[in-house]
Chain A
Amino acid sequence: MNVRAEFIPYLIVMAGVTYLIRMIPLALIRRKIKNKFILSFLYYVPYAVLSAMVVPAIFFASGNIITAAVGFVCAVVVAFFSKSLVVVAGCSCLSVFLTELILRFFS
C-alpha cells in the first residue's frame, strides 16, 4: 500500500487533463444557446456518443463474442421494457454468465 514518488506527476497530469476537458465548456458557456442547429446538434449528441461507445465495443467486453452478443441482445430487450439501469445491467450480466456456463458444458 505505497505510493511511489514518480507516480505523483502522472496522477496530477492524468486527473488535470481529464478535469479540464470537462470543466472548460461548463465554465465558459453560461449563456443560453439560441442557434437552432447547435441546439439540435446537442440534442442528438448524447445518444450518438453513447451508442458509438457501446457498439461494437460490447462484443469484445467479455472475451467471448458469443456470450457478449447474448449480453447485448439481453440488455436491448430488457431496456425496451424497463427503464431501470440496475435491472438492465443485472439481466445482461446474468445472461453472459449463463451463456458461458452453457458453452462450457458443451465444449
Chain B
Amino acid sequence: MASLTLFFNGTILVCGDKKMIQNSFKRGLLDGVPIGVGYFSVAFAFGIMAVQCGLSPLEALLISMTNLTSAGQLAGVPIIAGGGSLIELAATQLIINSRYALMSVSLSQKLENRVNLPARLLVAFGNTDEIFAVSMSNSEKIGKRYFYALMIAPWLGWSGGTIVGALAGGALPEIITSALSVAIYAMLVAVVVPKIKEDKYCALCVVLAVLISCCFNFLPILRTFAQNYGGFVIIICAIVASTVLALVHPIETEDGANEC
C-alpha cells in the first residue's frame, strides 16, 4: 500500500492507493444509524399528523417510503388531505425541496469519479439534509457503496417511524411528542457546530444565514413573503450567505491539493 502523507493547510491528506475515497459499506451503515434513530422520532410525529389530517396509515407509509423528506411531506399532506390540485402539490414540493438541488450540486463534487450514471440515479433518492450533511463531513471523497449503506438506516427509520406513529401515535402523552420534535433540529446542529469550531469563515457564513433567516421570520414585509413562499426562504438564505463568503474568503484550490 504505497501512500504519501502531505501536510496541507494544517490538514493531513493521504494520497496514493484508495486512501482518499470513503467506500466502506460497514462505515456507511454505522454512520447512518444515528440518522435513522433521529428520523424514527421525527417520522413518528409525521405519522400522527398524517392520520390526523385524514390519510390512512398505509398512505402515510407510502409517502414516507417514496419521498424521504420531512419539510416537503409536512407541507404536502394537508394538500392531499384537502383534495388540492396536483399542480399546487407539485409547486409546493418544488419550492420547499429546491434546496436539494443545491445539495445535489455539492454532492456531485463529493462523489468519486467512478460513480456512474445508474449509481447516481440511486444516490439521488437518498440525498436528504442529514444524509447529505454526514456524507459531506467525510474528509475523503465518497464512493457508492458507502452512500448506499448510509441510506439504509435512515430509510428504515423514516418509514418505520411513520407507520408506528400513524398506528399508535395518539396513545403517547404530548410531553413526549413535543420533546421528540426537536430531535431533527438538534441533529442538524450537531453537523454544523463542529465545522464552526474549526473554520471561522464557516462560522461567519452560518451567522449570516441565520440572520437572514430570522429577518424572513420576524420583519413584517419579509415575513409575509415567507408565509407565502416558505420554501424559497432557505434557498435565499443559503445563496446569499454562501455567495458573500465565497467572495470574501474563497477556499484554497491549488491544483496539487485537488489531484491527491
Say whether B24 faces chain A, with CB atoms less than 8 Å apart: no
Docked complex: A9-54 residues within 8 A CB-CB of B: 9-11, 13-15, 17-19, 21-27, 29-30, 32-34, 36-54
Query: Does A51 lie within 8 Å of B209, measured CB to CB?
Result: yes
With A21-B97, A46-B136, A54-B185 as contacts: A75 and B124 at CB distance below 8 Å: no
Most buried by B among A44, A82, A83, A88: A44
With A33-B109, A79-B193, A85-B35 as contacts: A45 and B123 at CB distance below 8 Å: no
User: How far apart are the CA atoms of A37 and B69 in the complex, in Å?
Assistant: 29
Query: Does B101 lie within 8 Å of A39, measured CB to CB?
Result: no
With A26-B124, A63-B178 as contacts: A57 and B104 at CB distance below 8 Å: no
Query: Does A26 lie within 8 Å of B238, measured CB to CB?
Result: no
With A55-B210, A76-B193, A88-B186 as contacts: A18 and B72 at CB distance below 8 Å: yes
Interface of B is mostly: helix
Chain B residues positioned under 8 Å from A72 (CB to CB): 182, 185-186, 189
Query: Does A76 lie within 8 Å of B100, measured CB to CB?
Result: no
Docked complex: A46-98 residues within 8 A CB-CB of B: 46-58, 61-64, 67-68, 71-72, 74-76, 78-80, 82-89, 91-94, 96-97
Docked complex: B55-90 residues within 8 A CB-CB of A: 55-59, 62-63, 66-69, 71-73, 76, 79-80, 83, 86, 89-90
Say whether B14 faces chain A, with CB atoms less than 8 Å apart: no
Per-position contact with A for B29-71: 1 when CB-CB < 8 Å, else 0? Answer: 0000111011001000000000000011111001100111101
Query: Does B179 lie within 8 Å of A22, measured CB to CB?
Result: no
Q: Looking at chain A, what size class is its interface with the partner chain?
A: 35 or more
Distance in Å from the Cβ of B3 to the closest Cβ of chain A?
22
Query: Does B93 lie within 8 Å of A52, measured CB to CB?
Result: no
Identify which of A3, A78, A82, A85 contacts B38 (C-beta below 8 A).
A85
Name which residue of chain B comes closest to A80, CB basis: B193
Per-position contact with A for B226-239: 1 when CB-CB < 8 Å, else 0? Answer: 00000001100110
Please list 29 pairs of residues, one from A and one from B, whose beta carbons are closer than 8 Å in the complex, sorted by A's number: A14-B89, A17-B90, A22-B103, A23-B120, A24-B104, A26-B108, A40-B246, A41-B243, A44-B242, A47-B192, A48-B205, A49-B209, A49-B238, A53-B99, A53-B185, A54-B185, A54-B189, A55-B213, A58-B185, A63-B178, A71-B186, A75-B190, A79-B190, A79-B193, A84-B190, A85-B38, A89-B38, A92-B182, A94-B179
The residues of B with any CB-CB pair to A shorter than 8 Å are 33-35, 37-38, 41, 55-59, 62-63, 66-69, 71-73, 76, 79-80, 83, 86, 89-90, 93-94, 97-109, 111, 113, 117, 120-121, 123-125, 127, 129-130, 132-134, 136, 175-176, 178-197, 201-202, 205-206, 208-210, 212-214, 217-218, 233-234, 237-238, 241-243, 245-247, 249-251, 253, 258
